[in-house]
Amino acid sequence: MTIKLSTGTRNGLAGTSGYGALFANGIIYIYSGPQPLTADAAPTGTLLGIVTKDGGAFTPGSPTNGLTFAAVADGAITKSTDNWKFTGLAAGTAGWFRQVGNAADSLAASTTAVRMDGSVGTNGADLNLSNLSVAVGSPNTIDVFRFTIPAQ
C-alpha cells in the first residue's frame, strides 16, 4: 500500500475536517506509471481517466457528479451506492490514482490542495481495478472503495 496524503489533507484531518468532508463531491484521477514522491507534487504519468458519479461531467465547486460516501463505520468510509465510473481518455496501464476534493485543483505542486495518492492494481492495491489496461473510450468502474483509519 502506498497511500500518500498531501499537506493540505493532513492539515484538514488534524484540524476540524474529516476525510469524508475533505473529499465530499470530489473526483479521482487515474494515471499511468509510478506515483510522485508526495501528494504535494504535480502528477506524473499520463492521465488515463477521471472517476466521477456515473462518468458524468464534473465542475469543481459543484456537487454535480462528484463522488459521495456511505456512512462511516468502524473507522472506515466506503463509496456510496452511486456508480463510480471513468472513460479512458488515453491508452495505457493504470499505475496510481489521485483523489481530490471538490475545490478547483490545478494539480500543480501545492501544499494546500486536498489530495490523496495511492497505488492501482488488480489485487492488494490501494485502489483495485478488474483490468489495469485502459483503452480510449472504454468505460471502467470502481466497484469498491474503502479508506480506513487504523485503530493502532
> In this predicted model, what pLDDT tens digit does every residue of 55-69 receive, in sequence order?
999 999 999 999 999
Average pLDDT, the chain: 93
Closest CA to 117 of 34, 50, 46: 34
Cα–Cα distance between 129 and 48 in angstroms, integer?
A: 13
What is the band of 152 on the pLDDT scale with cuts at 50, 70, 90? low
- Pick left, alpha or beta for residue 138 (phi over 0 → left; psi -120 to 50 → alpha; otherwise beta): beta
Q: What is the DSSP letter of 16?
A: T
CA 91 to chain centroid, in Å, comes to: 19
> Structure pTM?
0.94
Q: Please count the helices (runs of H) and the strands (runs of E) in the chain.
A: 2, 11
Asked whether the beta carbons of 118 and 110 are under 8 A apart, the reply is no
Asked whether the beta carbons of 105 and 25 are under 8 A apart, the reply is no
pLDDT digits 0-9 by tens, 3-58: 888 998 888 888 888 899 999 999 999 999 999 999 999 999 999 999 999 999 99
Give buried/exposed letters for 82-101 (b at 16+ CB in 10 A, else e).
Answer: eebbbbbbeebebbbbbbbb
Cα–Cα distance between 141 and 1 in angstroms, integer?
A: 21
pLDDT of residue 82 exceeding 70, the answer is yes
